[in-house]
Amino acid sequence: MENKLNKTLIVLSCTLFIVFIVYFIPAHSHNVRQHDEYDGNFTSRHLIVSSGQFFETNPTSIVYGSMNGLPRAAFVRFTEPIALLMYFFGSLSGYAISFILIRLVAFLGIFLIGKDFLKFNKQQFGILFLVALCFACLPYNTSYCLSICGTPIAVWAFLNVLNKSRLKVSFLTLFLYALSSNFVLVGFHICLVFFCLATWLSFKNKKINWLPFLAILFLGIVYVFSDYMLFYNHLLNTNYQSSRSVFDKVLTLNLKGVIGVSLINFFNGEFNGANYFGCLFIPFLLYYLHNFRHVNATNNLIGFQFLFIAILCSTASAFFDWEKLAGFYNTFSFAKVFNLKRFISLVPGFFFCAVLASVLFIINKGNRWSYGSVVILLLLFFTLAWRGNVARNLSSFECNGITIKGDEPHTFDEFFNVELYKTIKKEIGKDTVGNVVSFGLLPSACKYVGLNVLDDYQSDYPLSYKLEFRKIIEGELNKSKELKDLFDNWGSKCYLQSASTQENTLSSLNGFYFEKSLAINTKQLQKLNCKYILSSIIIGNSNELGLKFQKVVVSRLNFKAIILYRII
């Protein structure tokens, strides 16, 4: 009976996983999340893989198409698996393959930890598959590759090194993890966690085990060599100053807030790496801790370590937003740029490893009722995670200050609207060698069809360009403290915006949003070789600005209308 139930759960897990992949895989007709993912990361990769400079090794070489040309170092490295897949299979197909692969790795990581270190036996693989399914189907940002969902497989490899077993495959795993994850997002943080764990075990055993420290060094070296352009640009290139260097660290939490946010981080994560409804596992974890002394000694230590690290990472993420750290950030300005609160990226992986340990204890010590309760709760969590993925793709976001509500989703084809933007590109004709800028629209679709954009969503670009672009919108920045603070103290969204779009105070005219008086510097636009403004908003003072209305282009796909203004 137990063997039959085990096989049923394995088949059910695999089936649900396949259905999940089919339902959510990036495709032309599927809904996409614009913010961060398709609004920035996807199109930046598309630009570099289609530029002919993807394999350029000189970090200072200029890649044109965005912001009057960006250094090659501002784009993803040519060893990144997602970018490679997009290069060889096409942008959308490569992204879809990446979507599948990262979830397979997430599944495998949880499975290997359960099998090799928590010692799930074959009759318990059905439960193990269910936990792995829940972790693999969390609403991840595909463009982060293995940064978040690859944590368990990296932990599995490091535990092998600590135990001096499976060394070849473990070092290979760490090598591939470093190639497939982001150093700034998670690399530094996981190296620090591994270092603390190896140091603690050395003190505990009163003997230094040099092998894990060698593995950490190896992991760091792979990060540095694979992402040498990033390190060169920020550490060695004296001619480059990043826009991130003027980021203002806003500290919003008092001590009570730190405690509260720590709990939220632990159970929910954050939108790019969510423990979606992780609070469902509170009974598991409490029961596990209550019976701490009765757990098998080895599993006890490993499971408790997972739980402890997840708690520490959750707390550290909140701690670095504590208002009392203002002096720390003023003294060590690198902390503003590096964003130490990204320990949050490690929470989902360690959290689910801890859940795995608690689940094993419950099914080992419990009866059929407890076994059934675990199955039901895991299936409930999977259902909520499924809903979380739907919500993530349909959730509202701010489009230059214009709220797009959750009941107005965009499919890939609707968002990029290739036919519409190719029509605009044809209308512009020979002027496509110049730049275009968007007002009330995201520049991503322009980039996707090969139009040169003056505006963009870039996490790292030259400060000198930010200052030049600021001259364009200075008049609007002076109208709105909110917009001014957003641009001056952050500015990754280097967009043509107005105070009205930021504060959602636009009026309407003939079915369009209407901006009565747009305070922009069109001479500065011309200086930056900009010839056209693509707008979803009627600019009331276009004549005063030296803008000539050229045409309204309407999409046959969803009747989206874009007003084309030429700068004269």
Lowest mean pLDDT among 384-388, 458-462, 476-480: 384-388
- Residue 309 pLDDT grade (very low, low, confident, very high; cuts 50, 70, 90): very high
- Span 531-558, average pLDDT: 93
At 5 the pLDDT is 87
- Span 303-325, average pLDDT: 90
pLDDT digits (tens, 9 = 90+) for 180-232: 999 988 999 999 999 999 999 899 888 888 999 999 999 999 999 999 999 99
Whole-angstrom Cα distance, residue 50 to residue 452?
13
What percentage of the chain has pLDDT greater than the value 70? 94
Write the DSSP assignment of 98-148 as a string of letters.
Answer: HHHHHHHHHHHHHHHHHHHTS---GGGHHHHHHHHHHHHTS---GGGTHHH
Q: Which structure tokens are listed for 258? A: 């730190």
pLDDT digits (tens, 9 = 90+) for 125-140: 999 999 999 999 998 9
Q: In 439-513, which residue ranges form alpha helices assigned H by DSSP?
A: 444-449, 463-477, 481-489, 499-503
- Span 537-553, average pLDDT: 93
Q: 457 φ, ψ to 5°?
A: -105, 100
Whole-angstrom Cα distance, residue 260 to residue 254?
10
Q: Is the pLDDT of residue 479 over 90?
A: yes
Q: Report CA 116 to chain centroid distance, whole Å.
A: 30
Across-strand partners of 403? 398
Calculate the average pLDDT of the chain: 89
Q: Is the pLDDT of residue 406 over 90?
A: no
Q: Is the pLDDT of residue 75 over 80?
A: yes
The domain ranges of the chain are: 2-30+76-395, 412-567
At 297 the pLDDT is 58
Three-state SS at 550: strand
- Residue 450's region, left for phi above 0, alpha for psi from -120 to 50, else beta, is left
- Span 4-29, average pLDDT: 94
- Span 464-487, average pLDDT: 94
Q: 461 φ, ψ to 5°?
A: -155, 165
- For residues 14 and 327, which has the higher predicted lDDT (pLDDT)? 14
- Span 317-334, average pLDDT: 83
Whole-angstrom Cα distance, residue 367 to residue 370?
5
- Span 457-465, average pLDDT: 92
- Residue 397 pLDDT grade (very low, low, confident, very high; cuts 50, 70, 90): very low
Lowest mean pLDDT among 258-262, 504-508, 512-516: 504-508
Write the DSSP assignment of 221-264 as a string of letters.
Answer: HHHHHHTHHHHIIIII-TT--BGGGG------B-HHHHHHHHHH
Lowest mean pLDDT among 409-413, 467-471, 516-520: 409-413
In our burial notation (b when 16+ CB lie closer than 10 A, e otherwise), range 446-459 reads bbbbebbbbbbbbe
On whether the CB atoms of residues 152 and 106 are closer than 8 A, the answer is: yes
- For residues 433 and 525, which has the higher predicted lDDT (pLDDT)? 525
pLDDT digits (tens, 9 = 90+) for 261-302: 898 888 887 767 777 778 888 888 888 887 766 666 555 678
DSSP 516: S
Q: Report CA 7 to chain centroid distance, whole Å.
A: 35
The Cα angle at residue 380 between residues 377 and 381, in degrees rounded to 5: 90
At 401 the pLDDT is 43
At 404 the pLDDT is 39
